[in-house]
Structures are given as C-alpha cells and as structure tokens.
Amino acid sequence: MTETEVFNVLSQIPDPEIPVISIKDLGILQGVKIENNQVFIDITPTYSGCPAMKLVEDLIHESLAGKGFDSVQVISKLTPVWTTDWLSDDAKRRLEEFGIAPPEKTSPNKSWLSAEGPKIIRCPLCKSENTIMVSQFGSTACKAHYKCADCLEPFDYFKCI
C-alpha cells in the first residue's frame, strides 16, 4: 500500500463521538508516512483532554491490521494547533443534519479573552435563529449547550476554536 492508499483507508474511520463525519473531515488525521514497511501516522487531538483519542488510535490500528506492515505507530502531535476552521462545508452540513449546529466560519484570533461576541447560532432542527446559549460547556469538550427559543428543543453547538 502507498501512503495515499493508507490515508484513504484511514479517512473512512468515523469520529467516535460524531459518526457522520470522519477523522479526516475533523482534521484529527494529519498525515501518513511509510518508511521501510513501517507506517507512521500523525494525529492531533481536538481538545487536550479529548477522551476519544485512545479509541481513534485503536481504530487506526484495527483498520491497518493484516495489511502487511511491520509496525504501525500513531503519533499524537499538538501542532499545527487544531481548529474548527479545518472543517469543510460538506462536513458542516452533515453536522447540522445530525442535529449539531456547526461552528461559525472562522475561529476568533484577536483576543481569546474577549472573543465571545454576540453571535447567531441556527437551530439545527427548525432552522430558527432565535436561540439561547445555556452553557459554554456541553456534552463533550468540543460542544456548547444551546436551546431553541422557537421549537424549544435543546441542541449541541460545535464550539468555534
């Protein structure tokens, strides 16, 4: 298998928390290198403490088992620093269909302290823009908790970082 072929195989692995997008869509999968029949795979965590990283590593090992490599090494790197800017428009659309409001266009980069300006988050269910933030912390590290003031449904918002 070539590096591109391995990359394509790994691109099929769904994110453990959000199965509608892959680890490639999310930007966790960073690169593949093959040297002397050994594979080195770079991944990066979304958040420092993301508990899904171990599972992602296991899934990578699983999908490359029996492919004839002498060893598979998964290397977790902090840089380039993960950002929601890496999500493609297609991935954002699938997030919304899944019931998670996708992150806004670009991450705030001026001052992290005052980054949280007023913003409009669209309800992924009824598409109303009349929504309220319940908490900046949601069901996983990467999500905030919102509520729609029109259809009254609670929903997750994929935080923009």
Partner 1 sequence: MDLKEALREFCVRQGDDAVVLSHRVTEWCGHGPILEEDIALSNIGLDLLGQCQSLLNYAGQIKGNGRTADDYVYRRPENLFKNCLLVEQENGNYANTIARHFFYDVYHFYLLEGMQDSKDEFLRGFAQKSIKEVAYHIRHSSNWVLRFGDGTEESHAKIQEAVDFIWRYTGEMFENDEIHRTLAEAGIIPDYETLKSKWDAKVNEILAEATLIRPDQTFMATGGRTGIHSEKLGFLLSEMQYLVRAYPDAKWD
By the rule CB under 8 A, 2 interacts with partner 1: no
Count of residues of this chain found to bind partner 1 when the rule CB under 8 A is applied: 25
| Shortest Å distance, C-beta 150 to partner 1 | 21
**The two structure tokens encoding residue 149:** 């003031």
- Quick check: 145 binds partner 1 (CB under 8 A)? yes
CA–CA dist 84, 123 (Å, integer): 19
Q: Of 6 and 160, which CB lies nearer to partner 1 in the complex structure?
A: 160
The CB-of-37 to partner 1 minimum distance in angstroms stands at 26
DSSP 12: T
Q: What phi and psi values does residue 137 have, to the nearest 5 degrees?
A: -115, 130
| E strands present in 71-148 | 71-76, 100-101, 131-135, 143-148
Helix ranges, the chain (H):
3-10, 53-64, 89-98
- Residues in 4-43 that interact with partner 1 by CB under 8 A: none
**Residue 51 binds partner 1, judged by CB under 8 A:** yes
Phi-psi group of 76: left, alpha or beta (phi > 0 → left; psi -120 to 50 → alpha; rest → beta): beta
157 contributes a contact to partner 1 by CB under 8 A: no
Distance CA 138, CA 121 (A): 15
Segment lying near partner 1 (by CB under 8 A), choices 2-10, 14-22, 118-126, 132-140:
132-140
Instruction: Pick the binder of partner 1 from 9, 74, 141, 151 (CB under 8 A).
Output: 141
Q: Which residues pair with 132 in a beta bridge?
A: 147
Binding to partner 1 (CB under 8 A) within 59-118 occurs at: 77-79, 81-82, 112-113, 115-116
Contact indicator for 28, 22 with CB cutoff of 8 Å:
no
Nearer to partner 1, 11 or 139 (CB): 139
Binding footprint of partner 1 on the chain (CB under 8 A): 45, 47-51, 77-79, 81-82, 112-113, 115-116, 134-139, 141, 145, 159, 161
